[in-house]
Amino acid sequence: MGKNLTERAEDYSKWYNELVVKADLAENSGVRGCMVIKPYGYAIWEKMQAALDAMFKETGHENAYFPLFIPKSFLSREASHVEGFAKECAVVTHYRLKNAEDGSGLIVDPEAKLEEELIVRPTSETIIWDTYRRWIQSYRDLPLLINQWANVVRWEMRTRLFLRTTEFLWQEGHTAHATEDEAVKEAELIMNVYAEFAENYMAMPVIKGTKTESERFAGAIETYCIEALMQDGKALQAGTSHFLGQNFAKAFDVKFATKEGTQEYVWATSWGVSTRLVGALIMTHSDDNGLVLPPKLAPIQVVIVPIYKGPEQLEAIGEKVNPLIKELRAKGISVKYDDRDTHKPGFKFNEYELKGVPVRLAIGQRDLDDGTLEVARRDTMEKETIPMTAVVEKIEFLLEDIQKHIYEKAATFRDSHITAVDSYAEFKEVLENKGGFISAHWDGTTATEDRIKEETKATIRCIPIDSKNEPGTCMLTGKPSLRRVLFAKAY
């Protein structure tokens, strides 16, 4: 196809890295571990943001903005949180540069040392709960349902575009509640919002579940998650929602007066999804020809490529196409008309296949004569010639059908890659040869989980929400287990 893209079967990881760059989604920057999100990649993220933001607002949340910097002492307040986050982070120690006296250039001014170092936020629980102490006095101030769109920094040693970068973009919700029950319900609500977004917008089937203790967010009592399966059989954690109990309220002394006049600590949740979702989107649907994007998140839903010789033919095509573009845009469909004379149609076809544009129209002199045009869908690569009069209806059908079809394809793949096993030998065999999720009994201890991870690199992705009680015995230790959990190798 002339795209010079490594095939997935040959080297999935290489295919991914090449595709991100060739499809103009993102690239590495001059700063180690930090990516530049290019306009086409950012446009996908913007569409994700818009959909999520509307869902958060519909469920009663408001946006706000908290500082980028967190004083070092804040991080130490919540004991388990600091273990998880204070280690690999960007530390601001000075607030000024100056010209070196020897003329060698800019140096850090030693006189501008901060009394207390500032950490570039790896997540904002601490600075936000320090703020909530001022905002919450009474039960009338609750619940407090706040979300923030922000950049965060976690110093990663091994980075990959979108999947794991030192700086990334995300949203982080931080809510405060009067009761434990309400906070738990909020954490569950958001898990469901995330799942709905993943399935309805990203066309990515997910499994909802809770994390085991060792995989929980640092500072959480319970971590809810949505787990997706990539085409190479590895799992990807796509979003997490944490019930934090009263841990942060206690660490930052956030109490409220109840209706009855007593003082109680506030109950908390936090939850987030990030630009990692763009990586998940790519790995769920794309193929050896390039990106396959769900119509609901595609920056360009329809591209029209004129096939012409000379300005007269182009003008005649333009006259046919312009009213169509108008009509499509009036319906809220994003259309690009690519009449560049610097590139041949074949080049353009390749480019839009690489970029995953769901529907491509091509129109030439023959079509003008016959009152037709050619419609191609990106997911199946099927083409057909249809009458011009039928095109709007066809496009509306295709945008819905592609969204549905790629979801079903991904769901079929995922469903066929959940394997129940009952012995450790079988577990290792499936993990090695088939991949995907493996449903197995586990004795509930971190020791067993750790040993399985050490020996196989598989982790417990989640304890599925909808899993049935099914007594059994742990595949490794033979100890009793109440139900199966899902293992997988993961991104």
Looking at beta carbons only, is 27 or 181 nearer to a copy of itself?
A: 27
Q: Does 151 bind a copy of itself (CB under 8 A)?
A: yes
CB of 355 to a copy of itself, least distance (A): 14
**Other beta carbons less than 10 A from residue 397's beta carbon:** 12
CB of 36 to a copy of itself, least distance (A): 5
Q: Does 35 bind a copy of itself (CB under 8 A)?
A: yes
Q: Which two tokens stand for residue 403?
A: 């969204």
Q: Does 110 bind a copy of itself (CB under 8 A)?
A: no
CB of 18 to a copy of itself, least distance (A): 16
CB of 253 to a copy of itself, least distance (A): 13
Q: Does 425 bind a copy of itself (CB under 8 A)?
A: no
Among 4, 10, 30, 432, binds a copy of itself (CB under 8 A): 30
* Residue for token pair 């980075």: 159
* Angle of the 276-285 helix axis to the 39-58 helix axis, nearest 10: 110
Give me the amino acid identity at 329: R
Sign of the four-CA dihedral 133, 138, 143, 149: negative
| Element spanning 176, H or E | strand 167-177
Q: What is the DSSP string of 446-486?
A: HHHHHHHHHHH--EEEEEETTPPP--EE-TTT--EESSEEE
Q: What is the DSSP string of 374-441?
A: EEEETTT--EEEEEGGGHHHHHHHHHHHHHHHHHHHHHHHHHTTEEE-SSHHHHHHHHHHT-SEEEEE
Looking at beta carbons only, is 134 or 468 nearer to a copy of itself?
A: 134
- Please tell me the distance from the alpha carbon of residue 196 to that of residue 438, in angstroms, as a whole number: 24
**Residue 102 phi, psi (nearest 5):** -85, 10
CB of 160 to a copy of itself, least distance (A): 16
Looking at beta carbons only, is 42 or 442 nearer to a copy of itself?
A: 42
Could you say which DSSP state residue 490 is in? B
CB of 190 to a copy of itself, least distance (A): 18
**Other beta carbons less than 10 A from residue 216's beta carbon:** 19
Among 4, 342, 389, 433, binds a copy of itself (CB under 8 A): 342
Q: What is the DSSP string of 248-277?
A: HHHHTT-EEE-TTS-EEEPEEEEEEEETHH
Among 1, 95, 385, 450, binds a copy of itself (CB under 8 A): 95
CB of 372 to a copy of itself, least distance (A): 32
Q: Does 87 bind a copy of itself (CB under 8 A)?
A: yes
Among 80, 93, 380, 385, binds a copy of itself (CB under 8 A): 93
CB of 122 to a copy of itself, least distance (A): 11
Contact 220, 473 (CB under 8 A): no
Q: Does 131 bind a copy of itself (CB under 8 A)?
A: yes
Looking at beta carbons only, is 131 or 241 nearer to a copy of itself?
A: 131
Report angle CA 183, 187, 188 to the nearest 5 degrees.
115
Q: Does 90 bind a copy of itself (CB under 8 A)?
A: yes
What dihedral angle (degrees, nearest 10) is formed by the CA atoms of 104, 105, 111, 112?
-160
Contact 206, 226 (CB under 8 A): yes
CA-wise closest residue to 280 among 45, 39, 453, 123:
45
**Residue 369 phi, psi (nearest 5):** -65, -40
Q: Does 344 bind a copy of itself (CB under 8 A)?
A: no
Give residues 165-184 in contact with a copy of itself (rule: CB under 8 A).
167, 169
Distance of CA 490 to the CA centre of its chain: 14
Looking at beta carbons only, is 90 or 386 nearer to a copy of itself?
A: 90
Looking at beta carbons only, is 88 or 315 nearer to a copy of itself?
A: 88
CB of 90 to a copy of itself, least distance (A): 5
Q: Does 82 bind a copy of itself (CB under 8 A)?
A: yes
Total binding residues toward a copy of itself, as defined by CB under 8 A: 63
Q: Does 347 bind a copy of itself (CB under 8 A)?
A: no
Q: Does 118 bind a copy of itself (CB under 8 A)?
A: yes
What dihedral angle (degrees, nearest 10) is formed by the CA atoms of 144, 145, 150, 152?
70
Report angle CA 465, 471, 473 to the nearest 5 degrees.
110
Q: Does 278 bind a copy of itself (CB under 8 A)?
A: no
Give residues 42-81 in contact with a copy of itself (rule: CB under 8 A).
42-43, 45-46, 62-76
- Please tell me the distance from the alpha carbon of residue 385 to that of residue 290, in angstroms, as a whole number: 24
CB of 154 to a copy of itself, least distance (A): 10
Looking at beta carbons only, is 127 or 395 nearer to a copy of itself?
A: 127
CB of 429 to a copy of itself, least distance (A): 40
Q: Does 310 bind a copy of itself (CB under 8 A)?
A: no
Among 9, 10, 106, 369, binds a copy of itself (CB under 8 A): 106
Positions in the binding site for a copy of itself (CB under 8 A): 27, 29-31, 34-39, 42-43, 45-46, 62-76, 82, 86-98, 105-106, 108, 117-120, 127, 130-131, 134, 140, 146, 150-151, 153, 155, 167, 169, 342
